[in-house]
A = this chain, B = another copy of it.
Amino acid sequence: MPGGLRTTMLNPAEMMPDMNDPDRIAQMAQLAMLLELSSSPKPGNVDRCHDYEDVSFSHFIASAVLSYPSFRRAASGESDIGRLILDTVSAWREWGLRGNTHFGEIALLIPLASAASRPGPLRSEISRVVESTTVEDSICFYRAFELAGARAADVNEMSLKDPGAADEIATRGVRLIDLMRLSQGHDLIAREWATGFSRSFELADALCEMVPRHGLNRGVVLTYITALSEEPDSLVASKFGIDVALEVSRMAGAALRSPDVISSAMEMDRVLISRDINPGSTADLIASSLFIALMRGLRF
């Protein structure tokens, strides 16, 4: 891994003075998306070395490029998180991108970009950002979800598939944070919202330890496989059921324990691709944890 030898954490004293500049925050959110995308092998996900049938590497790249203005708006003090998520998906569609590329990632990175621009520690500010979401945010999020063609998760008795869901959200006064709390049991993204992004911060700690030791690509891959081994992927569970998601986690654990983790991950990648199994929620968590690590000064 050529970049590995030079991977480092910036000393806080050396850190750039502009880490709360909206453009810098937007850059780190975009870079987190692109580094997650290009790290390889990331079993079952689009990466440098393979595309999906319908959505290719270049569509994910375009999606990250087109997300930039929303990140900058979030980091410039615009607090309507649902609207920013909807505007991002609309920007993808208006430009001509089809398919679902990065819905999970922007649902994590937009609130994080907002929190990063605020004066307190990221960990406290992210809870304040999600806690202050409104019913209007829920309605926008619901529309964004539909427009993105994201996989529908049933939110307990309120299904995001249900055409009446938007009305019900409004009638019942369900804020976006409430909607996420309803889904936290079966959706990793929703759980981040409900828990102050605790898993993202944990994985950022892992990245800050692994990347300087193993280089960027290997550090990201090891963090991804570790994350997958520790918790079943909720996108896999929603498509194939919890048993398959647990099986994937066991495969990740076996890969980690093997003498050559990268080769085992490549083999696991082939198996998951052949079964059309895509642990996309875990990849989304890698993007949010990369953002946190980059904001802390991780360099490569």
User: A interface vs B, CB < 8 Å?
Assistant: 1-3, 6, 8, 10, 16, 23, 27, 30-31, 34-35, 38, 48-49, 51-59, 61-62, 65-66, 68-69, 94-96, 98, 216-217, 299-300
Partner of A96, one of B10, B54, B59: B10
Tell whether, in the assembled complex, residue A54 and residue B2 are in contact, meaning their CB atoms are under 8 Å apart: yes
Tell whether, in the assembled complex, residue A61 and residue B48 are in contact, meaning their CB atoms are under 8 Å apart: no
Residues of B within 8 A of A16 (CB): 94-95
Residues of B within 8 A of A51 (CB): 2-3
Q: With the chains together, A216 CA to B62 CA distance in Å?
A: 12
Given contact pairs A16-B95, A49-B48, A68-B68, A57 touches B38 in the complex (Cβ within 8 A): yes
Residues of B within 8 A of A96 (CB): 8, 10, 299
Residues of B within 8 A of A216 (CB): 56, 58
Q: With the chains together, A131 CA to B23 CA distance in Å?
A: 31
Residues of B within 8 A of A58 (CB): 3, 35, 38, 216-217, 300
Shortest C-beta distance, A74 to chain B (Å), equals 15
Contacts beyond the supplied A2-B56, A35-B61: 16 A-B pairs with Cβ under 8 Å: A1-B56, A2-B54, A3-B51, A3-B58, A3-B59, A6-B98, A23-B68, A30-B68, A31-B65, A34-B34, A35-B58, A38-B57, A48-B49, A58-B216, A62-B300, A68-B68
Residues of B within 8 A of A61 (CB): 31, 34-35, 38
Tell whether, in the assembled complex, residue B23 and residue A56 are in contact, meaning their CB atoms are under 8 Å apart: no
User: Copies of this chain, how many?
Assistant: 2
Q: With the chains together, A23 CA to B300 CA distance in Å?
A: 27
Shortest C-beta distance, A49 to chain B (Å), equals 7
For this complex, 25 residue pairs linking A to B, each with C-beta atoms less than 8 Å apart, are A2-B53, A2-B55, A3-B51, A3-B56, A8-B96, A10-B96, A16-B94, A27-B65, A27-B66, A30-B65, A31-B62, A34-B65, A35-B58, A38-B48, A38-B57, A38-B58, A38-B61, A48-B48, A48-B57, A56-B217, A58-B300, A59-B300, A68-B68, A95-B299, A96-B299
Instruction: Pick the 7 closest A-B CB pairs, nearest first.
Output: A96-B299, A3-B56, A48-B48, A31-B65, A34-B61, A2-B56, A27-B65
Residues of B within 8 A of A52 (CB): 2
Q: With the chains together, A94 CA to B10 CA distance in Å?
A: 11
| A3, A23, A59 pick with most chain B CB within 10 angstroms | A3
Shortest C-beta distance, A299 to chain B (Å), equals 4
Which residue of B has the minimal Cβ distance to A4? B56
Residues of B within 8 A of A62 (CB): 31, 300
Which residue of B has the minimal Cβ distance to A30? B65
Residues of B within 8 A of A27 (CB): 65-66, 68
Which residue of B has the minimal Cβ distance to A217? B58
Residues of B within 8 A of A8 (CB): 96
Q: With the chains together, A9 CA to B260 CA distance in Å?
A: 45
